[in-house]
Structure 1
């Protein structure tokens, strides 16, 4: 039993060492990007740098990209997220639709990555209710901004579907694992992050401006950990 726990802690420390560049880049972002003297291009670089380090984490994990079914989709989702970070940082108005489009594509790849099994319609219904509340709240702020309003509806549908597929293995489900729990928490935190961001941009400034970034980076990290450490992801190649 003691040997088993030693192996578990060794694996945890090993994963933390691989995540050091990501964690350091997140700290650097919070320290430097908040400075008023920081140039806009530097803020954009600092914002997407942690996501790029998550990509390197996947590539240095010893995963065979040809046989691992989730890794290529995860990489695509992270890269589109990094592009979305750049567009959102450059200008919250002119390039907002561009940023939402990039994140929308990222969620499409995440939905594809999580798959359709188990279906878990109860979790889906719960997230439909959450999405409806989300839409009703933002609709008051976007009533006179039709392009952003319809884009918000599409985006909320995508992120809600992503969170449903991420949480299908644990939400209202007795059979769960830590890896599936990471995916569930990651999907939910992604909703919290984007809701905080949308309220700050279209409605009113949120008191804790760092909440959106903190929940966003945590969500991306947990989604990455859940996908990389999933056991049943090897695709049998037909000869």
Structure 2
């Protein structure tokens, strides 16, 4: 029941996308978005179980979510400055988290992979708006969504492996807001470019 309740907002997002009249055969972003949302719902199911093995499965599902989101956001524009900025944030976080995972080698290496994936996803989500003169509200929505996903998962990892950093409310609020903003940025293709 707890797993089902966690999945309901994600399933609502899937329903929202499917009822917008988007042609799923031609709208490749919507296809990748739906796949990412479904993998994140599977990750929520695994993460609600108590054993460490199921937490690993849950993190694997979220890793696949980020792979689909990276694919959805694409490689253009490249925006290396945003990439370096997010890499610096990820490195600081990794050094902090490494102290908590020093004696847990299998989890330590999977955490490195996961941080690389979510960092890349946040980079691709923010490439159109962060340090970019030509941005739009839709691209800004994706940027904020990617950043909130990082905040949610980083807080979750610190609470899981280091010390209780937050209650479930903050993690859930940032996670669901991130999924909503990423979904809105993917399905709304028309946006007015705002020049500074």
TM-score band w.r.t. shorter chain: over 0.9
Moved over 4 A (4+): none
- Residue 208 (structure 1) shift: 3.6
- Residue 134 (structure 1) shift: 1.3
- 1:95-144 Cα shifts (integer Å, max 9, x gaps): 11101100000000000000000000000000110110111111010000
Q: Is 2:116 aligned against 1:157?
A: yes
- 1:183-220 Cα shifts (integer Å, max 9, x gaps): 00000000000011001110011244311110000000
Q: Distance in 1 between matches of 2:39 and 2:84?
A: 28
Q: Could you say which structure has the larger radius of gyration?
A: 1
- For residue 123 of structure 1, what is the aligned residue in structure 2? 82
- 1:14-56 Cα shifts (integer Å, max 9, x gaps): xxxxxxxxxxxxxxxxxxxxxxxxxxxx111101111011000
Q: Distance in 2 between matches of 1:200 and 1:230?
A: 36
| 8 Å Cα contact 1:167-1:181 kept in structure 2 | yes
Q: Is 2:33 aligned against 1:74?
A: yes
- For residue 98 of structure 2, what is the aligned residue in structure 1? 139
Helix, strand or coil for the counterpart of 1:119?
A: coil
Helix, strand or coil for the counterpart of 1:138?
A: helix
Q: Distance in 2 between matches of 1:91 and 1:70?
A: 34
Q: TM-score, normalised by structure 1?
A: 0.78
Q: Distance in 2 between matches of 1:224 and 1:43?
A: 24
Q: Is 2:134 aligned against 1:175?
A: yes
- For residue 12 of structure 1, what is the aligned residue in structure 2? none
- For residue 10 of structure 1, what is the aligned residue in structure 2? none
| 8 Å Cα contact 2:156-2:171 kept in structure 1 | yes
Q: Distance in 2 between matches of 1:61 and 1:197?
A: 32
- For residue 184 of structure 2, what is the aligned residue in structure 1? 225
- Inter-CA distance 178–92: structure 2 relative to 1 (3 Å threshold): farther
- For residue 209 of structure 1, what is the aligned residue in structure 2? 168
Helix, strand or coil for the counterpart of 1:176?
A: strand
- For residue 21 of structure 2, what is the aligned residue in structure 1? 62
Q: Distance in 1 between matches of 2:39 and 2:2?
A: 17
Q: TM-score, normalised by structure 2?
A: 0.95
- For residue 3 of structure 1, what is the aligned residue in structure 2? none
RMSD after superposition = 1.1
Higher RCO, Cα 8 Å, sep 6+: 2
Q: Distance in 1 between matches of 2:181 and 2:160?
A: 26
| 8 Å Cα contact 2:155-2:166 kept in structure 1 | no
- Residue 92 (structure 1) shift: 5.8
Structure 1, unmatched stretches of 5+, are 1-41, 233-239
Helix, strand or coil for the counterpart of 2:164?
A: coil
